[in-house]
Amino acid sequence: MDGRGTSGWSTAAVHLLPQGDTPDIPPALEVSGLTVVYDRKPALWDISYRSPTEGLVAIVGPNGAGKSTFLKAVLGLVPRVSGKVELLGEPAGKVRGRIGYVPQRTAVDWSFPTTALDVVAMGLYGRIGWLRPVRRHHLARARRYLADVGMEAFADRQIGQLSGGQQQRVFLARALAQEASVYFMDEPLVGVDAATESVIFDILRRLRRDGRTVFCVHHDLQSVSRHFDHVLILNMRSFAAGPVDRVFTAENLQEAYGGRLAPGELSGLRLSG
């Protein structure tokens, strides 16, 4: 039962688990009482969550549990009915320059007239600033981030000519170009090939090594314990949160997924507890 409240209503206190952090470093993300409503239907209900100061955090939960909505609400992309969000100990609006974002691949029109390199350069816009054009040295820098994901040979391809995995790598390179302290990634591993998957996990490990925090909406329960340090289990409420080895238990998952996980699905997992 560690890391989880006895009922969905009273979980808030349990999320303030001691995570072994030095008290003077603020958590990467702290949310209290977050509620989001779509069209009168609640999508997230009274979520309170305190993240670690660094490391890789998987956000898991059944379909429709509000995983993407959680990211978007934290980033201010969807309006919140109530609740407070702090990133790196400050209101979200103050630290925009230190936040990186990888939206879902389906969020954009891939027939847009732009190349892989130009998309990666968008990650530099924040530092280039208002009204200033993208210069040659910016493109040279963008090219290096493209190389980090093994895509430098495709720099001048129109993005619609890339495969799904390649498009995802371009999105990841754009986020790397943001050089953020905290990253939010929305299902970066959905529908990608194995080579892209290992590139993405390599990058995640590198970000962890550099002391950054990555929140990653993740659908594949199989790979959670192998690749992530912390987990946040959502089912409209914050169901459980904490280090993978304490929270990612068969009992928690079974309950969060409403008993809909087949025994086979569970037995394949490397679970804790």
Partner 1 sequence: MIGELLPILLLQGGYNTTIVCIGAAMLGAASGMAGSFALLRKRAMVSDAISHATLPGVCLGFIAALWFIGAGRSLPFILAGAALSAMAGVVLVDLVRRSDRLGEDSAIAVVLSTFYGLGMVLLSYIQTLPTAGQAGLEGMLLGATAGMLRFEAEMIAIAALVLLVVTILLFKELGLVCFDPEFARAGGWPVRLLDLLIMSLVTGVVVIGLKTVGLVLIVALLVIPPAAALYWSRRLAPMVFTAALIAAAGAYVGAAISASAPDLPTGPVIVLTLAALFVFSLLFAPKRGLVVAMIALVRHRMTIAERQGLLALATRRSVSQPLSRVLLLRRGWMDAAGNATTGGLSQARLVQRDQALWDRYLLDYPEDAFACREWSMRFIEEVLPGDLVAELDRRTVEASLRTGGV
CA separation for the pair 236, 243 (Å, rounded): 20
Q: Which amino acid is at 237?
A: R
Per-residue tokens: 174: 């754009």
> Which of 38, 53, 48 has its CA nearest to residue 88?
53
9 binds partner 1 (CB under 8 A): no
Burial class (CB in 10 A: 0-12, 13-18, 19+), 126: middle
Among 1, 107, 140, 147, binds partner 1 (CB under 8 A): 107
Nearer to partner 1, 72 or 218 (CB): 72
How far apart CA 155 and CA 272 sit, in angstroms, is 42
Q: Using the rule CB under 8 A, which residue among 18, 22, 23, 131 binds partner 1?
A: 131
List the interface residues with partner 1, window 67-106 (CB under 8 A). Answer: 72, 75-77, 93, 96-97, 99, 101, 103
Residue 195 Cβ, how far from partner 1 at the closest point, in Å? 4
**Beta carbon of residue 224, minimum distance to partner 1 (angstroms, whole number):** 22
One-letter amino acid for residue 250 of the chain: A
**Is the separation of the CB atoms in 242 and 17 below 8 Å?**
yes
Which strand (E) or helix (H) includes residue 198? helix 194-209
Least distance in Å: CB of 227 to partner 1? Answer: 18
Q: Could you give the CA distance from residue 2 to residue 14 in angstroms, rounded to a whole number?
A: 9
CB of 99 to partner 1, least distance (A): 7
Least CB distance from residue 7 to partner 1, whole Å?
A: 34
> In sequence order, what are the beta bridge partners of 39?
none
Residue 133 interacting with partner 1 (CB under 8 A)? yes
Site size for partner 1, by CB under 8 A? 48
Q: Which of residues 140-199 bind partner 1 (CB under 8 A)?
A: 150-151, 153-154, 158, 161, 163-166, 174, 178, 184, 191, 193-196, 199
119 binds partner 1 (CB under 8 A): yes
Phi, psi (rounded to 5 degrees) for 34: -75, 120
Using CA atoms, how far apart are residues 42 and 89, in angstroms rounded to an integer?
A: 27
Contact residues: partner 1, CB under 8 A: 39, 72, 75-77, 93, 96-97, 99, 101, 103, 107-109, 112-115, 118-119, 122, 125-126, 128, 130-134, 150-151, 153-154, 158, 161, 163-166, 174, 178, 184, 191, 193-196, 199
